[in-house]
């Protein structure tokens, strides 16, 4: 961290010579380490470490951005690049400056990463447990370690540093028998080197793959669905996208002009907890230096906030101080640049997975959704497919595994029917690397429109 702070100071010194009206520096060191396994062997064992800086500066209403690999050797070049970018940039009429002096609620970061050796041992254990349970099982997945240190310095006197450490485990079991293939998946994410419950997770993944090997076809149509946390997280992610400032203000979101209105079920409560040190992506400030805050995104089915960056708050609200503090940190190449919550939780209820199943006359249990996408923004229609675990529930019991189905439905409809929510949450990362604490939950109906072949 000292090195990052030192680079920021050197950059600031150089920037001060450049006659700009203001600047913002976010320098980070990211170490991606990944042990990836397939067909019971490790096929990818990688580790990389890079120091990057993201610089913004302005002169009048001209704003420029550069990001670059950074070391003491290229400080002047990077600053020069920024100055030239600003020089040729046109004015942004609504631009009113960057983050102003504010106080961060600092806290000590929690987290530790596995070593490559730990990760290889975990994989070895998964493979041994899985193949002992069923010699036909082939195990796939990853043990990823994310380490991000970042330091901020701005001309408005903002200064801060923090770090994120987390480990992400994925287990997929595949069993093949002739033309048939069964798939089962489990995931877990944590912030400590405490060993995950590899045995239980592997057992579950293998059992699901055994079950889905014998999956039967069911008719398409509307079904009550009990969603495992990883399936539930996917639907939540695509709901949150629609609260981004651009689709909201361009009337391309189902929530456009409906902030403060009860549009979803009254027990639908989503909140973001970046200031809880236990949150996987906990941070006291965002990538623009705006303080983060714990906040409700949906309160009893009512959307409470739109996600603004400093620039979009200036553009749409005329006030940069209304930025949400949700600008993504560079913890992944996939997630830097957008504004949205990274530590989302769905409020728990008083039910359980077992109770939800026992209270279902005829419905489906979904382990995972996959390749979800927005079909019609204004109407909130999204589509996606089940994957790695789909079961038919009849008369309060899991009857058998089901071949995968595609849903296409409006979130305005299916999230109006949140029936039950479990009293436990699972920590996980979604498809885009955002963290979540997601319970099991049940929707009264979700419309499935077509069948897959497996």
Q: Which residues in 318-357 contact another protein (CB under 8 A)? A: 332-334
Give the residue with the Cβ less far from another protein, 252 or 294.
Answer: 252
Residue 149 touching another protein (CB under 8 A): no
Give the residue with the Cβ less far from another protein, 81 or 424.
Answer: 81
Give the residue with the Cβ less far from another protein, 2 or 48.
Answer: 48
Residues 6+ apart with CB under 8 A from 357: 226, 365, 393, 396, 397, 398
Nearest approach, Cβ of 161 to another protein (angstroms)?
20
Instruction: Report the DSSP beta bridge partners of residue 77.
Output: none
Element (H, E) at 175: strand 159-177
Q: Are 361 and 398 in contact (CB under 8 A)?
A: no
Residue from 111, 130, 141, 291 that binds another protein (CB under 8 A)? 141
The tokens for 391 are: 């079961």
Residue 1 touching another protein (CB under 8 A): no
Give the residue with the Cβ less far from another protein, 57 or 303.
Answer: 57
Residue from 102, 372, 417, 424 that binds another protein (CB under 8 A)? 372
Axis crossing angle, helix 2-16 with helix 75-88, rounded to the nearest 10 = 50
Residue 2 touching another protein (CB under 8 A): no
DSSP symbol at 280? T
Say how many CA atoms lie within 13 Å of 411 toward its Cβ.
Answer: 28
Residue from 1, 13, 60, 69 that binds another protein (CB under 8 A)? 69
Instruction: Report the relative pairing of strands 381-394 and 295-299 from DSSP bridges.
Output: unpaired
Say how many CA atoms lie within 13 Å of 279 toward its Cβ.
Answer: 23
Please list every residue from 423 through 442 that binds another protein, using CB under 8 A.
433
User: If binding means CB under 8 A, how many residues of this protein chain bind another protein?
Assistant: 93
Residue 37 touching another protein (CB under 8 A): yes
What distance in Å separates the CA atoms of residue 42 and residue 452, rounded to the nearest whole number? 30
What order do you get walking across the sheet with 302-303 strand by strand?
A: 302-303, 295-299, 270-272, 343-346, 435-438, 426-429
Q: For another protein, which stretch binds (CB under 8 A), given 123-131, 233-241, 284-292, 349-357?
A: 123-131
Residue found by looking up tokens 């801060």 in the block: 160
The backbone region for 440, taken as left when phi is positive above 0, alpha when psi lies in -120 to 50, beta otherwise, is beta
Instruction: Report the relative pairing of strands 362-376 and 221-227 from DSSP bridges.
Output: parallel
Residue from 3, 21, 32, 112 that binds another protein (CB under 8 A)? 32
Instruction: Report the relative pairing of strands 405-410 and 441-451 from DSSP bridges.
Output: antiparallel
21 three-class SS: coil
Residue 144 touching another protein (CB under 8 A): yes
Residue from 12, 317, 322, 381 that binds another protein (CB under 8 A)? 381
Residue from 149, 159, 388, 419 that binds another protein (CB under 8 A)? 388
Nearest approach, Cβ of 311 to another protein (angstroms)?
6
Q: Are 40 and 131 in contact (CB under 8 A)?
A: yes
Give the residue with the Cβ less far from another protein, 277 or 317.
Answer: 317
Give the residue with the Cβ less far from another protein, 366 or 421.
Answer: 366
Q: For another protein, which stretch binds (CB under 8 A), given 6-14, 37-45, 105-113, 298-306?
A: 37-45
The tokens for 114 are: 């596995």
Nearest approach, Cβ of 403 to another protein (angstroms)?
10
Residue 449 touching another protein (CB under 8 A): yes
Residue from 142, 165, 210, 353 that binds another protein (CB under 8 A)? 142
Please list every residue from 78 through 107 that binds another protein, using CB under 8 A.
78, 81, 85, 88-90, 92-94
Residue from 67, 192, 321, 424 that binds another protein (CB under 8 A)? 67
Please list every residue from 203 through 232 that binds another protein, using CB under 8 A.
none
Residue found by looking up tokens 């963290």 in the block: 435
Q: For another protein, which stretch binds (CB under 8 A), given 38-46, 156-164, 232-240, 262-270?
A: 38-46
Instruction: Report the relative pairing of strands 180-190 and 41-59 from DSSP bridges.
Output: unpaired
Give the residue with the Cβ less far from another protein, 19 or 373.
Answer: 373
């Amino acid at each position: 961290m000292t090195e990052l702070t030192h680079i920021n100071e050197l950059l600031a010194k150089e920037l001060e010579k450049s006659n700009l009206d203001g600047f913002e520096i976010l320098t980070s060191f990211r170490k991606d380490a990944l042990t990836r396994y397939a067909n019971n062997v490790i096929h990818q064992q990688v580790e990389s470490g890079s120091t990057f800086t993201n610089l913004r500066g302005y002169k009048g209403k001209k704003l420029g951005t550069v990001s670059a690999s950074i070391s003491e050797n290229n400080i002047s070049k990077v600053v020069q690049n920024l100055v030239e970018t600003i020089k040729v940039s046109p004015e942004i009429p609504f631009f009113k400056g960057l983050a102003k002096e504010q106080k961060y609620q600092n806290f000590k970061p929690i987290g530790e990463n596995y070593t490559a050796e730990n990760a290889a041992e975990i994989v070895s254990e998964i493979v041994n447990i899985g193949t002992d349970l069923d010699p036909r099982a082939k195990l796939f997945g990853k043990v990823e370690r994310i380490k991000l240190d970042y330091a901020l310095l701005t001309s408005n006197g903002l200064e801060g540093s923090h770090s994120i450490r987390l480990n992400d485990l994925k287990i997929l079991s595949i069993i093949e028998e002739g033309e048939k293939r069964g798939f089962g998946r489990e995931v877990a994410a944590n912030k400590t080197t405490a060993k995950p419950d590899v045995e239980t997770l592997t057992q579950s993944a293998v059992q699901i793959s055994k079950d889905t090997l014998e999956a039967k076809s069911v008719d398409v149509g509307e079904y009550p669905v009990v969603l495992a946390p990883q399936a539930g997280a996917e639907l939540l992610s695509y709901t949150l996208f629609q609260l981004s400032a651009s689709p909201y203000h361009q009337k391309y979101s189902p929530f456009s002009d409906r902030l403060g209105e009860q549009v979803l079920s009254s027990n639908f409560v989503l909140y973001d907890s970046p200031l809880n040190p236990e949150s996987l992506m906990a941070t006291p400030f965002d990538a623009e230096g705006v303080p983060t805050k714990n906040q409700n995104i949906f309160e009893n089915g009512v959307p409470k906030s739109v996600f603004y960056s400093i620039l979009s708050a200036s553009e749409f609200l005329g006030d940069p101080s209304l930025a949400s503090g949700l600008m993504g940190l560079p913890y992944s190449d996939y997630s830097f640049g957008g504004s949205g919550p990274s530590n989302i939780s769905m409020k728990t209820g008083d039910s359980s997975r077992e109770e939800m199943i026992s209270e279902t006359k005829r419905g489906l249990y979904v382990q995972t959704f996959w390749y979800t996408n927005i079909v019609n923004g204004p109407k909130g229609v999204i589509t996606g497919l089940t994957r790695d675990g789909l079961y038919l529930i009849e008369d309060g019991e899991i009857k058998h595994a089901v071949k995968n189905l595609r849903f296409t439905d409006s979130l305005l409809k299916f999230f109006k029917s949140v029936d039950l929510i479990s009293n436990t949450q699972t920590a996980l990362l979604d498809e885009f690397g955002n963290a979540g604490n997601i319970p099991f939950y049940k929707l009264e109906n979700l419309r499935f429109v077509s069948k897959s072949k497996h």
